[in-house]
Structure 1
Amino acid sequence: MNEMLEKARAIEQQIIADRRCLHQIPEVGVYTPKTAEYVKQRLGEMGIEHRDCGVHSQEDREKMVFAGYPDAPTSTGVVGLIGKGEGPCILLRADMDGLPMEETTGLDFASKGNTAHMCGHDAHAAMLLGAARILKDMEEQLPGTVKLMFQPGEEMGYGSRTMVEDGLLENPKVDAAMALHVGPQVEVGKLTYSPGVASGAMATFIISIQGKGGHSSEPQKTVDPVNIATQLCSALNLLIPREVDPEAFATLTVGALNGGRASNIIPDTAEIMVSFRTLSPEAYDHLLQRIPEILDHYVKAWRGTYSVRVLKTPSTVCDRQFSEELVPFVGQVLGEENVLPAPPMKGAEDFGHVTRLVPGFYAFMGAGSPEGYPLHNPNMVLDESAFALGSAILANCAVEWLKKHAGQ
């Protein structure tokens, strides 16, 4: 048995206990105070140096409230350090926020109320705590530094950015970063990764159009914001079929159009919410440029004014060289035959805020079976035997990568 897996099996019950405790206190968004406090308490018990990490701008705070999310006075990320702060530095990341939904699994430790850990982030945090215990016990032998990243707000698409902006990647400087995600429909003992682009990029535009309301019998005295909104929707829906390479995966959706409450009143305001997703970095950059251009021209053409709030999440990218280094280290735990490349997922993953700045590796680790319920389903259940594997993978990759790069 691999040494790290042996160490992880020895503390398996603690990893499971951590996961069950976190499972019962799910919190949504970048403000997860109970979860962060639990993580800090456990790191303190292990003697691991740690600090709060995360800045939440007033602009981001207002965007989230406007989009219907709970107010978040601050970002509650936590960073831990293991090692002497010298030599190469690898970052291990776990997200720890939940979802605004009810759980219906019937588990003894199921969450109550209208928030739940149906994306497995509780398991991610527990696995990283397990890896932290292993790494702390061998701290004197580490030929470098391991930085532990416990992040809130992944489901919001920007929780990792709040930590990056608060110096996550500095002091010591991070050289490479790794993250695992549990897969409830992937067999335990398997791991898949996507060389290159690993997840879709996403951007959401929340557009408020200001017109001039009036009576429907005198439209010439008004500026109709509903007319502007519908024209804008039609124009934006032409962007992908006319300006994006047909070979690229890209979708654009107008998910909300609101304005007016009566047929004989031209309202003062209207609002639309537009989002796009793509696996193409070129399409991502193009759409980020073109949507504001079309918005500006169409609204002004019909004599309106507007304000726009933009939420962006770049693609997570598996750096090819870094991935080639880590895959054998994962194979030492799972067996080389169980580590497989796979197509990128079309959903967004905000680890991209990290991988755009340092080489990264992101992978799905089996924690169920193909017959299981998927992520974000209220009945999703994870196989707890997978968690020790996750801790072992994180610890083994950190130690072996540090050894490989020591003295460079």
Structure 2
Amino acid sequence: MNMYNEALAMKDTLTADRRHFHQNPELGLELPKTAAYVEEKLREMGYEPQRMGSGVVAVAGKKTGKCFLIRGDMDALPVTEMTDLEFKSENGCMHACGHDCHTANMLGAARLLKAHEDELEGQVKLMFQPAEETMDGAKMMVENGILKDPDVNAALGIHVFTNLPLPAGTVIMTGADSKMAAVDWFTIKITGKGCHGAQPNNGVDPLNVMSHIHLALQAINAREMDPADNMVLTIGQMHGGNTSNVIPQEAMMSGTIRTLKNTTREMVKTRMDAIVSTVAAAFNAEAHVEYGSGCPVLFHNQELYGEVKGYLGELEGVHFVDLNDIGQHMSNMGSEDFSYVANEVPTVFLGIAAGQPEQGYCYPQHHPKAMFHEDALPVGAAVYAHVAMEWLKNH
């Protein structure tokens, strides 16, 4: 059995699925067309898919025992596509992060697992997840029981990456100690006292307060963080007022906090709450922080990481690099809500190179001109299926 050769033989199908998803992107938790397409294809293969919110779940395997989960996210971004692809999106949204590839890979893995279902020494749960970009989807599915019935014992996630100096299809192990950051989205609402712009003494300027809060928040990183730790606090929006000669009543700012330790995550939020309220009070205003979507730190399970490396070494035709082997690891201040699974069961998260700059894949994820090399598709499908089968065989 050569799982990669089997995946390579279905490349046309993988490509057709991927292009369908790419041409019909949907956002967040609302993926009616995407989920329906996934369900239709799974039923054609002989699965009995179930909806979990706007996600889709299916199970391969006729034998009870342990359960291995594989996950692919399905949502796109609110980005207007600017590529010249024949199958480009025209609806103002775009799969600029490669989730179209992930969903196609999962369908490919589902075909491979169904073809080898009699050989599965347990069960494989397929998790087709919405709303990764908004950090809502994995949490929703965990809360709705994705890790139960059958109980999941270990899990694998994969992400494609474009604009890398590696041949398309190269599997990337980011180092056993690598992490992806926790993220918290926040909004700060400031209430002052509106008045005429010529008489500022009669009001309390929330724009002035907002400016002082913005600067004060940067001191958390500069003066309160351990220099050996990592934190990024980004203000992405600042809004207030409607005209030039009026001091407004209210203002708002919003952004994200990213941290690599859950303890740091809580410390930063505690300090942010204190700074926002006390700086506002110093100017006779009121302000508070509202936290929105977020996710915890994503980390590898060390034992499973070693096992997956062994399985990849046995997958003929697939090349992988492990940053541990060159004395590196790749902690990333980007975030990934698969962490909700990783914080519950042993998990490994892999990357797959999907385009070199010199081949024209020179724009990063989330860019309106980002493209992904389709040679990565058979690799993703094969890795999902091979790792799941081998883990069950060894457990």
Q: Does 1:255 align with 2:254?
A: no
Question: Who is 1:111 aligned against?
Answer: 89
Q: Deviations over 1:352-395 (max 9, x none)?
A: 12111111111111222243222223333322222111111110
Of residues 366, 369, 386, the one that matches 1:379 is: 369
Compute the TM-score of the two structures, normalised by the length of structure 2: 0.90
Residues 228, 6 of structure 1: alpha-carbon distance in 2 compared, 3 angstrom cutoff:
same
Question: Who is 2:326 aligned against?
Answer: none
Partner AA of 2:218 in structure 1: N
Deviation at 1:99, TM superposition (A): 1.6
Deviation at 1:297, TM superposition (A): 2.7
Deviation at 1:218, TM superposition (A): 5.0
Deviation at 1:226, TM superposition (A): 2.2
Question: Who is 1:358 aligned against?
Answer: 345
Deviation at 1:329, TM superposition (A): 1.0
Structure 2 CA distance for aligned equivalents of residues 103 and 145 of structure 1:
39
Residues 115, 85 of structure 1: alpha-carbon distance in 2 compared, 3 angstrom cutoff:
farther
Residues 160, 353 of structure 1: 8 Å contact kept:
yes
Deviation at 1:330, TM superposition (A): 1.8
Which one is further off, 150-159 or 280-289?
Answer: 280-289
Residues 19, 123 of structure 1: 8 Å contact kept:
yes
Compute the TM-score of the two structures, normalised by the length of structure 1: 0.87
Question: Who is 1:199 aligned against?
Answer: 180
Of residues 311, 322, 325, the one that matches 2:304 is: 322
Question: Who is 1:59 aligned against?
Answer: none
Deviation at 1:398, TM superposition (A): 0.2
Deviation at 1:323, TM superposition (A): 0.8
Residues 289, 335 of structure 1: alpha-carbon distance in 2 compared, 3 angstrom cutoff:
farther
Residues 382, 219 of structure 1: alpha-carbon distance in 2 compared, 3 angstrom cutoff:
closer
Q: Does 1:309 align with 2:290?
A: yes
Of residues 135, 147, 160, the one that matches 1:157 is: 135
Of residues 162, 166, 182, the one that matches 2:144 is: 166
**Structure 1 runs, 4 residues or longer, greater than 4 Å off:** 216-221, 334-337
Deviation at 1:256, TM superposition (A): 2.1
Question: Who is 2:117 aligned against?
Answer: 139
Residues 70, 155 of structure 2: 8 Å contact kept:
yes
Deviation at 1:399, TM superposition (A): 0.4
Structure 2 CA distance for aligned equivalents of residues 260 and 106 of structure 1:
40
Structure 2 CA distance for aligned equivalents of residues 223 and 117 of structure 1:
44
Of residues 80, 88, 91, the one that matches 2:58 is: 80
- The equivalences for 1:119-130 within 5 A come to 119-130=97-108
Of residues 324, 332, 336, the one that matches 2:314 is: 332
Partner AA of 1:97 in structure 2: D
Structure 1 CA distance for aligned equivalents of residues 63 and 319 of structure 2:
35
Deviation at 1:281, TM superposition (A): 3.8
Structure 2 CA distance for aligned equivalents of residues 268 and 377 of structure 1:
36
Structure 1 CA distance for aligned equivalents of residues 260 and 243 of structure 2:
41
- The equivalences for 1:5-20 within 5 A come to 5-20=4-19
- The equivalences for 1:182-261 within 5 A come to 182-184=160-162, 185=164, 186-194=166-174, 195-216=176-197, 218-219=199-200, 221-261=202-242
Deviation at 1:248, TM superposition (A): 2.4
Structure 2 CA distance for aligned equivalents of residues 278 and 370 of structure 1:
30
Aligned residues: percent identity? 39
Of residues 252, 260, 264, the one that matches 1:279 is: 260
Residues 367, 333 of structure 1: alpha-carbon distance in 2 compared, 3 angstrom cutoff:
farther
Structure 1 CA distance for aligned equivalents of residues 318 and 61 of structure 2:
29
- The equivalences for 1:13-28 within 5 A come to 13-28=12-27
Of residues 253, 264, 278, the one that matches 1:297 is: 278
Question: Who is 1:178 aligned against?
Answer: 156
Structure 1 CA distance for aligned equivalents of residues 289 and 41 of structure 2:
42
Q: Deviations over 1:47-74 (max 9, x none)?
A: 11221113xxxxxxxxxxxxxxxxxxxx
Partner AA of 2:17 in structure 1: D
Question: Who is 2:74 aligned against?
Answer: 96
Report the 3-state secondary structure (helix = DSSP H, G, I; strand = E; otherwise coil) of the residue aligned with 1:105. coil
Deviation at 1:92, TM superposition (A): 0.3
Q: Deviations over 1:292-323 (max 9, x none)?
A: 22223333444433453313222221111111
Deviation at 1:402, TM superposition (A): 0.6
Question: Who is 1:58 aligned against?
Answer: none
Residues 4, 316 of structure 2: 8 Å contact kept:
no
Structure 2 unpaired stretches of 5+: 324-328
Structure 2 CA distance for aligned equivalents of residues 400 and 277 of structure 1:
35
Residues 169, 375 of structure 2: 8 Å contact kept:
no
Residues 169, 319 of structure 2: 8 Å contact kept:
no
Residues 312, 320 of structure 2: 8 Å contact kept:
no
Structure 2 CA distance for aligned equivalents of residues 268 and 157 of structure 1:
32
Residues 23, 117 of structure 1: 8 Å contact kept:
yes
Deviation at 1:31, TM superposition (A): 1.0
How many residue pairs match? The answer is: 383
Structure 2 CA distance for aligned equivalents of residues 152 and 300 of structure 1:
41
Deviation at 1:39, TM superposition (A): 0.5
Q: Does 1:3 align with 2:5?
A: no
Structure 2 CA distance for aligned equivalents of residues 115 and 324 of structure 1:
38
Question: Who is 1:49 aligned against?
Answer: 48
Deviation at 1:164, TM superposition (A): 1.2
Report the 3-state secondary structure (helix = DSSP H, G, I; strand = E; otherwise coil) of the residue aligned with 1:382. coil
Report the 3-state secondary structure (helix = DSSP H, G, I; strand = E; otherwise coil) of the residue aligned with 1:143. coil
Structure 2 CA distance for aligned equivalents of residues 28 and 260 of structure 1:
30
Q: Deviations over 1:152-173 (max 9, x none)?
A: 1111122211111211111111
Residues 262, 22 of structure 1: alpha-carbon distance in 2 compared, 3 angstrom cutoff:
closer
